[in-house]
Amino acid sequence: MSDLDAQARDILRGNDKGGYTVPTHGLYPYQWNWDSVFAAWGFAVDDLPRAWAEIETLLAGQWDNGMVPHILFHQVDPSYFPGPDVWQGTGPVPSSGISQPPIAATFVRQIAALDAANGAAKMRALFPALLKWHRWFYQWRSEDGAIVVTHPWETGRDNSPDWDPPFAAIDPVGIDTYQRRDTGHVNQDERPRKYEYDRYLYLVKLGADSGWDERYLRQVTPFRVADPTMSFTLLRANRDLLAMAAELGEPTDEIATWIAAQEAGAQTLWNPDIAAYDTCDLRSGAFGGGVSSAAFLCWYAGIHDDRMLGHLERIMSAETYGIASYDPDHAAYEPKRYWRGPVWAMMNMLIAMGLHEAGHTAHADAIRANTARMITENGFAEYFDPRDGAPAGGRSFTWTAAVWLGWAS
Ligand code: 9WN
């Protein structure tokens, strides 16, 4: 075992709270949805029971309506804001009121493939909750097959320039005074600005005051944006759910209907002005206007669309480390500020998985080698500066360690 493998394992063990894993201590002291799935993938390398436990704990937070929250607050911890008192989630475990990219079905299948003894039984046990969660997306968040978000935090790409146009239309009146905690852990130049936090909290208050009523929010929220992260991860996850259903002898028709609708819906995210997949603000009808790393999840979604290859090659060669979370040639690019430019190892893994499956193996291998070098030289940071790989955000980060163990090493 290499020294880095040992470090990555230590990070996973160190962030393990017993049944669930925190992304990193201090900055993020709770269970996050897609972080947890990556953690399970990392554990699966040498501890399959622990991998399954991570997914089971996550799905135990599922709401009656099927939604699986983006944060589960198992134990209150004042080092993070906003906590359960602000969110007022209505599920079985104190939680936020929004979801996150649904990568679980995809990685449940991957982990099951590693588990000859129990994989099939685990898939059978988890299938109903996954189906119910995907049905929630289709019921409340599908607009002609494109998947919409009601909060930037739902996409996992919190302060991407994609949200600048819809945020400009929000006047965050009526929010309570608040004290951020994130900038006590991380340099404020690497985090979202107050402008964004005011609007994040405005949208949380709107949701909490409604009791997280999706029907009502669909009518009133100023933030309803079709998003490639959600659209592509759910499309991919539905393909995996369909394969699971077939293997288990469960009905496949409903899932097949979702997939067909989503394949058509994905094309509504094509912005001809930039010749790329993009966000689309359903309130104004306007596209986001720039190329984010989420656009390169098209191959992961099974859309073998080589129109994105030119952008991929351009963005990969623009900086030493790729893939920048936002286009380095765009005026809004900020290489140190969170989702406005930095590289995220787990996005690289998802993008490269898709490229590999689509037959673009040289591109996939280049991304993997570049990610491995970035981690080897700079450690297991939350994200990295594309220009020189300088580590940014939190350290000893769960998903960076998991991606190292399961893919990059
Ligand atoms: C809000 C935990 C999460 C990730 C997101 C990332 C960041 C939270 C925050 O951290 O978001 O959900 O407080 O900044 O953007 O992708 O899941 O690692």
Q: Which domains does the chain have, with CATH numbers?
A: 3-408 (1.50.10.10)
- Residue 234 has φ and ψ, to the nearest 5°, of -70, -40
* CB atoms closer than 10 angstroms to residue 187: 10
Residue 359 has pLDDT above 90, yes or no: yes
State the average pLDDT over residues 22-26: 97
Q: Is the peptide bond before 323 cis (omega within 30 degrees of 0)?
A: yes
pLDDT over 80 at 17, yes or no: yes
Is 288 a residue whose pLDDT tops 90? yes
Q: Per-residue confidence at 403, pLDDT binned at 50, 70, 90? A: very high
Tell me how long the chain is. Answer: 409
Alpha-carbon distance 354 to 347, whole Å?
11
322 vs 316: CA distance, rounded Å = 5
Structural tokens at position 69? 């929250």
Q: Which of 152, 135, 124, 122 is nearest to 52 (CA)?
A: 122
- How much is the mean pLDDT over the chain? 98
Mapped onto helix, strand or coil, the DSSP state of residue 90 is: coil
Burial of 78 (0-12, 13-18, 19+ CB in 10 A): exposed
Say yes or no to pLDDT of 1 above 80.
Answer: no
Q: What is the mean pLDDT of residues 327-348?
A: 98
Rounded to an integer, the average pLDDT of 172-180 is 97
Task: Give distance in angstroms: CA of 365 to centre of ligand 1.
Answer: 27
Query: What b/e string do you get for 329-356 counting C-beta neighbours within 10 Å, with b at 16 or more?
Result: ebebbbbbbbbbbbbbbbbbbbbbbbbb
Which pLDDT score, from 0 to 100, does residue 91 have?
98
Give the whole-angstrom CA distance, residue 114 versus residue 343.
29
Decide: 35 in ligand 1 pocket, CB within 6 A: yes
Q: Which of 54, 327, 382, 385 is catalytic?
A: 382
Residue 320 pLDDT grade (very low, low, confident, very high; cuts 50, 70, 90): very high
- What is the per-residue pLDDT for 316? 97
Could you tell me the pLDDT band of residue 304, with boundaries at 50, 70 and 90?
A: confident
pLDDT band at 2 (very low <50, low <70, confident <90, very high): confident
Q: What is the ipTM of this complex?
A: 0.99
Say whether 313 sits in a helix, a strand or coil.
Answer: helix
Q: Among positive and negative, which fits the CA dihedral 17, 20, 22, 26?
A: negative
Closest ligand 1 atom number to CA of residue 24: 18
Measured from the CB, is residue 393 less than 6 Å from ligand 1?
Answer: no
Q: Quick one: pLDDT at residue 318?
A: 96
Q: What is the model's pLDDT at position 326?
A: 98
In terms of Cα–Cα distance, which of 102, 37, 94, 106 is closest to 67? 102
Does the pLDDT of residue 395 top 80, yes or no? yes
pLDDT in tens, 41-52: 999 999 999 999
A 10 A CB-CB count for 62 gives 21
Distances in whole angstroms, Cα of residue 366 to Cα of each of 17, 71, 309, 356, 371: 35, 33, 14, 11, 9
Atom of ligand 1 nearest to the CA of 155: 16
Q: What global pTM score does this model have?
A: 0.98
Q: Using one digit for the tens of pLDDT, what is the confidence trace for 117-152?
A: 999 999 999 999 999 999 999 999 999 999 999 999
Name the residue with tokens 């944006």: 225
Kindly give the residue spans of alpha helices, DSSP state H, lying in 60-151.
84-87, 104-114, 119-140
Does residue 114 carry a pLDDT above 90?
Answer: yes
Task: Give distance in angstroms: CA of 154 to centre of ligand 1.
Answer: 9
Ligand 1: which of 20, 25, 27, 28 to mutate, judged by most atoms within 8 Å of the beta carbon? Answer: 28
Q: Are 105 and 52 in contact (CB under 8 A)?
A: no
- 176 annotated active-site: no
Residue type, 96: S
Is the bond preceding residue 82 a cis peptide, omega within 30 degrees? yes
Instruction: Let me know if 385 is a catalytic residue.
Output: no
- Strands 270-271, 383-384: parallel, antiparallel or unpaired by DSSP? unpaired
* Test site for ligand 1: of 38, 153, 340, most ligand atoms within 8 A of the Cβ: 153
* Cβ of 158 below 6 Å from ligand 1: yes
Evaluate if residue 84 carries a pLDDT over 90. yes
CB 57, CB 68: distance < 8 Å: no
Q: Which atom of ligand 1 is nearest to the CA of 23?
A: 18
Q: Mean pLDDT across the stretch 380-386?
A: 98
Confidence of residue 241 (pLDDT cuts 50, 70, 90): very high
Q: What is the pLDDT confidence band of residue 77, given thresholds at 50, 70 and 90? A: very high
Quick one: the chain helix, strand, coil %, rounded to 5? 55, 10, 40
Residue 106's alpha-carbon distances to 280, 302, 336, in angstroms, are 25, 12, 30
Which of these is catalytic: 54, 154, 158, 240? 158
Q: Which ligand 1 atom is at minimum distance from the Cα of 394?
A: 18
